[in-house]
Structure formats: C-alpha cells, structure tokens
Copies of this chain bind each other. A is one copy, B any other.
Amino acid sequence: MLGNSFGRMFRVTACGESYGDALVAIIDGCPAGLEISDGEIQMELDARRPGTSPLDSPRQETDQVHIFAGVLNGVTTGAPLGLIIYNVDRHDIHVKQYFDVKDLVRPGHAEYTHMIKYGQFADWCGAGRASGRETCMRVAAGAVAKKILAKQGIEVLGHTCECMGIKSKPLSFEDIKAHYRKNHINCADPEAAKKMIERVLVIKDEGDTAGGAVEVIAHGVPAGLGEPVFDKINATLAHALMSIGAVRGVEFGAGFGVSNMKGSECNDIPYVDEDGKVRFRTNRAGGIEGGITNGEDIMIRIAVKPTPTVSIDQQTVNMATMQNQKLSAITRRDPTVTARLVAVAEAMVRLTILDHLMMWRGYDAIQNIEHPWR
C-alpha cells in the first residue's frame, strides 16, 4: 500500500486498521508554540464518533486520542505531532463474525479490490485499512489544522445539505454557524433536518441505508491561495475530499449547474466595495478563480454514497470457491454516514487550505515586490 500521507508542507501520515491495536497519525510541519491538548482534538473526534445517534453504527469506540510526541508542557516544540487512538470495541465475537464471511465479497465494499491487490493476505477483519475507521485520524489531524487556521482568521464549517431527495435551503456561512451540529443529521436547516431524519429512520427500518450530500464552506481564506496549473486549490481540495471512502462527486460553486449556464450567467461580476476592497456580486466560482482563491467563501459540495452494509440479503461471490453465493443481512451498520462524514470533510478541507497557505507563504517570501492590492 502506498499513499498513506497527505499534504506537502503540512503533512499527515497515518496507519491503523479497523480492528488493529491502534490508529496513529504523524503530523509533520506543525509549528512550534501552539498550545494544544488532547481535549481539543477530542472535541472534533467526538463529532465524528459512531454510536452516539440512532443514525449511526452501534460500534462503541470511544476514540480517546493522546498526543504522544511533539508537545512539551502543553505546547508544540516544532517536532512532528504523534497522535494515537487505541481500538477498544474489538471483541472476539466481532472478529469471528468477519472471519466467517472472509471469503465473501461484501457488495459496495473494498474487499474484492484488496484481494486482487494484496492476495490472500488482504485484511479481512472489518475492512482493515479500507474501513471508515481510518478517518478518525483525518479528523484528529484536521483539529490541529483548525487551531492553526483560526489564528489566521480562517474557519471551515460543513453540514448535510441533501439526503434522499430532501434538500437544505441555501445557507450562508453564518447560517451554518448559527445551526452548526444541532441535530443528528448535522443539517443546519432545522426543517430540512427534521425531514431527513424521519426519512433515514424509515429506511433504517427497511434494513437499508441512505445516501446524502455535504456542503463545506471555508470562510476568511485570503485571496491568493492555490497554484495556477496542476495544483489549483480546487484540484487539491477535490483530491482531498474524493479520498474519503464514501464520496462519489465533488463540485465547487455553481458546480454541475454550469453545464447549463451561459457565460453571462456564470461570470461573477467584481466591484469595489465601500472599504475599497474588490468583491464579487455572486459566487458561482465558489471562491476560486483560475485555481486561486479570490477572497470569497470557498463553497464545496460532495456526494456521499449510502453505507454499503445493509440488513438485506444480497447475492455475491465466494472468492474461495469462486461461486456465486448469498450474503446474509448484517445488523451492525450505519443507517447513514453522511452526518458523521461532515467532520471528516471539514478536516480534509482544513488540511488542504493550511498546506496551500504554507506553500504560498514560502513562495511569496522570496518575491521582493510591493503588493498594492493585498
């Protein structure tokens, strides 16, 4: 396996499986002098933690994080942070359940592709490293990024904007902030949230699971982040978000809507505001023009597939016998991961923005030029 690191300057490297001893993240590029505690990281982890709502998996992982490196007397030293979370809810009964179906391809899961890639040695226990469990280290690392970004005036918030045909009304950053994490589905439109939850509970009762969509807004990002060609900030954000297991699409600003727009409808018109600052009358570009932030809010929307584990019998393949076979209903599952995925998406956006910020500052430091427009 390759690719267990993300970022170039602010760089997260992680390991750990669904039913292994522990998950660890090493965060390279963390500045010195940052006060950070286990508790602050824990707050973000708790937002992602399963077992806290009727919409989640009943798996009881406490996700207690500990910073074991990089901090001296509560302050970072500049050394890489080491974060560890021990897996606690991994009893023999669960391992046995997975062992009993280890030769069966679970539809919508990654077993088949892992078997092709790693042969019979592919981890069969709870999806191993392909489990959504790995995302807790993304969230932990993102919590560190959140604190650093806050000092730069940058905030990133997300919410569930769509679920099974029910859409949130259009919300601004402030709207989301006002109703942030207020309900089980993590939707900042209370009325839509209510309908979404009802809908998911019905689907849950059917033994099925529900898809959704998450909107993430980054506010206070200065104009100038992102590189003009291959490393446009929308390109690296798309990479970051599409690397989350359940995500099937990502769009910025007007997104797929642009397919049916004219140029005159799609262009955001700039103007000089009363403070003499350039602003844009609309934000169809989602805060990014030419791959570089323009100072408006970055607006992102991602599609989240329904959890593939369902309490309904499914046909599948037994890889040991190479025969078609029935896979029985599985009970321990998330009715939807959309609500929990919000925290993961926010984390990936924070990590990406911080990484760009550091690259940009490094580049800009050798530009001996005056900046009349900043």
Question: A273-299 CB contact bits vs B (8 Å, 1 = yes)?
Answer: 000101000000110011111110000
Most chain-B CB neighbours within 10 Å: which of A26, A229, A354? A229
A211 partner residues in chain B, CB cutoff 8 A: 258-262, 266
Q: Is the CB of B234 within 8 A of A242?
A: yes
Q: Enumerate A97-127 residues with CB–CB distance to B below 8 Å.
A: 105, 107-110, 112-125
Q: Is the CB of B24 within 8 A of A69?
A: yes
Q: Is the CB of B110 within 8 A of A291?
A: yes
Selected from B1, B236, B272, the residue in CB contact (under 8 A) with A30 is B1
A110 partner residues in chain B, CB cutoff 8 A: 228, 289-292
Kindly report which residue of chain B lies nearest to residue A209, judged by CB atoms.
Answer: B263
> Is the CB of A82 closer than 8 A to any CB of chain B?
yes
Selected from B3, B24, B29, the residue in CB contact (under 8 A) with A228 is B3
Given A108-B266, A357-B366: A232 and B243 within 8 A (CB)? Answer: yes
Selected from B210, B251, B289, B317, the residue in CB contact (under 8 A) with A108 is B289
Q: Is the CB of A317 within 8 A of B362?
A: no
> Is the CB of A11 closer than 8 A to any CB of chain B?
yes
A112 partner residues in chain B, CB cutoff 8 A: 223, 270, 278, 289, 294
A8 partner residues in chain B, CB cutoff 8 A: 8
A366 partner residues in chain B, CB cutoff 8 A: 31, 148, 151-152, 354, 357-358, 361
Q: Is the CB of B239 within 8 A of A235?
A: yes
> Is the CB of A77 closer than 8 A to any CB of chain B?
yes
Q: Enumerate A24-73 residues with CB–CB distance to B below 8 Å.
A: 24, 26, 28-34, 68-70, 72
Q: Enumerate A306-353 residues with CB–CB distance to B below 8 Å.
A: 306-310, 312, 314-317, 319, 322-324
Kindly report which residue of chain B lies nearest to residue A232, judged by CB atoms.
Answer: B243
A152 partner residues in chain B, CB cutoff 8 A: 366
Given A31-B368, A119-B32, A119-B369: A272 and B361 within 8 A (CB)? Answer: no
A249 partner residues in chain B, CB cutoff 8 A: 249-252, 255-256, 258
Q: List 26 A-B contacts (CB under 8 A).
A: A1-B78, A4-B26, A5-B28, A9-B359, A13-B28, A16-B68, A17-B79, A20-B68, A31-B366, A77-B123, A78-B367, A107-B267, A107-B268, A110-B228, A117-B364, A203-B262, A209-B262, A229-B243, A231-B243, A239-B242, A249-B255, A259-B304, A261-B305, A266-B305, A267-B308, A272-B317
Q: Is the CB of A262 within 8 A of B208?
A: yes
Given A228-B1, A264-B312: A15 and B253 within 8 A (CB)? Answer: no
Q: Is the CB of A263 within 8 A of B22?
A: no
Selected from B72, B269, B290, B312, the residue in CB contact (under 8 A) with A130 is B290
Q: Is the CB of A118 within 8 A of B2?
A: no
